[in-house]
Structures are given as C-alpha cells and as structure tokens.
Amino acid sequence: MILSSEEKKILLDIARQSIISSVKGVPVPDLEENYSISPTLEMKAGAFVTIEIDQRLRGCVGFIQSNEPLAETVSKAAVSAALHDNRFNPLTVGELGNIEIEISVLSPMKKVKDVESIIPGQHGLLIESGFHHGLLLPQVATEYRWDRKTFLEQTCVKAGLPKDAWKRPETIIYSFTALVFNEEELN
C-alpha cells in the first residue's frame, strides 16, 4: 500500500486523537466528521500502533488483518495500545504530552516455504503452533540487529514457544512487509 504524506499525517492524527480521547475517558472523534478520508484510507488492511515515551516502548497493539477501513483500524489499534497492552499499565493523562506514535500498515500475510527467503528488517514474522502465536514487526529485527535465526527464535519466544519451535513441522511461519512511519519523520 502506498500512502501520501498527507494520508500518513491524517492516520497519525487519528491515532493521537484516539489515544488522547480514550485516556481522558471521552468518545473518540468521529472519523468521517473530523477527517478527509481518502479512498486509500477506506481500504481494509491490518495495522499496528506503537507508543513510545523517551524512546522506550509504552504500548504496541494492532490487527494482523481487518475488515474495517484502515482509518478505523488505526483508531482502534491506538486505543488498544494506550489502554489494553497487557505488558503495561494504561497510559495516564500526565503521559500524553510525552508520547511518540509510530504506525505500521501491514501487507497481507504470506506463508513461508523456505526460511532463507526471510529478510530481517524487511519482513515481519507471524509464527503459529497449536494455540500459540506471536508476531514481530519488521523494524524489531532492525532495532535489535537480529540475524534471520535470532529473529525466528525471538518470534517463537513472543509466541510462548521454545526458541527452536520454528524448525518443527507443525509450526506455521508467515512473513509480511509493513509501511512504517512516525510523527518525527513527517514533521
């Protein structure tokens, strides 16, 4: 998916306003009333919203795929990242002035037939085995400078599986790409 700078700014503003409203306990702004939603922002796609404070993760939640327009998916992911990421306490009003927002718009998932085709930093991974599943966005491998094997292992760990579970025949590995953007780069 290709987004213009203006569409990226709109999605980032939707995320920010959705976070602020939800943390303050007021209704999230009506997207159609408050934004010029282009046909691209009406397309259905998975998306994740990452919240950081002082370059430290404060919440990251998203949807692998969505039956709703991208703008709505981003709004819901932003609220969930702010209030429902079970790794963190909900954001507080006092933290709102310090948040930094990043959005990752996901491509469709592709089943990996050969792990050698995985390019850390370009591909994100979803690993499933039984009732376990874990997802890591492409930028995670870049941030930690992981090679392919480490990226596979860490995605298994995220899924609650042993590090080498990616080698098991019952484990399904999917890859995807993501269009990643944040407020800092657009300012």
Per-residue pLDDT tens over the stretch 105-132: 999 999 999 999 999 999 999 999 999 9
For the chain, list the domains and their CATH numbers: 5-106 (3.30.700.20), 110-176 (3.30.1490.150)
% the chain with pLDDT above 90: 97
Q: Residue 186's pLDDT is what? A: 81
Q: Compute the average pLDDT of residues 78-100.
A: 97
CA distance 28 to 19: 8
For the stretch 166-186, pLDDT in tens is 999 999 999 999 999 999 888
Tokens of 166: 């990616």
Task: Write the DSSP symbol of residue 68.
Answer: S
Q: What CA–CA distance (Å, rounded) separates 35 from 156?
A: 39
Average pLDDT over residues 1-17: 96
CB 122 within 8 A of CB 139: no
Please state, in angstroms and rounded to a whole number, the distance separating the CA atoms of residues 138 and 185. 18
Which pLDDT band, with edges at 50, 70 and 90, does 1 fall under? confident
HSE-up of residue 66 (Cα within 13 Å, Cβ side)? 23
DSSP letters, 17-58, are HHHHHHHHTSPPPPHHHHS---HHHHSB--EEEEEEETTEEE
Distance, CA of 97 to CA of 104 (rounded, Å):
22
Q: Is the pLDDT of residue 102 over 80?
A: yes
**pLDDT digit string, tens, across residues 19-34:** 999 999 999 999 999 9
Torsion of CA 36, 9, 187, 176, to 10 degrees: -160
- What pLDDT, on a 0 to 100 scale, did the predictor assign at position 187? 76
Residue 61 confidence class, pLDDT cut points 50, 70, 90 = very high
Higher pLDDT, 67 or 184: 67
Share of residues in the chain with pLDDT > 70 (%): 100
Read off the pTM.
0.93
Q: Which class for 104: exposed (0-12), middle (13-18), buried (19 or more C-beta within 10 A)?
A: buried
Q: Given a cut of 80, is residue 134 above it in pLDDT?
A: yes
Exposure of 169 by Cβ count < 10 A (0-12 exposed, 13-18 middle, 19+ buried)? Answer: exposed
Distances (CA, A) of 60 to 46, 104, 158: 14, 10, 13
- Mean pLDDT of all residues in the chain? 96
> Pairing relation of β-strands 56-63 and 47-53?
antiparallel
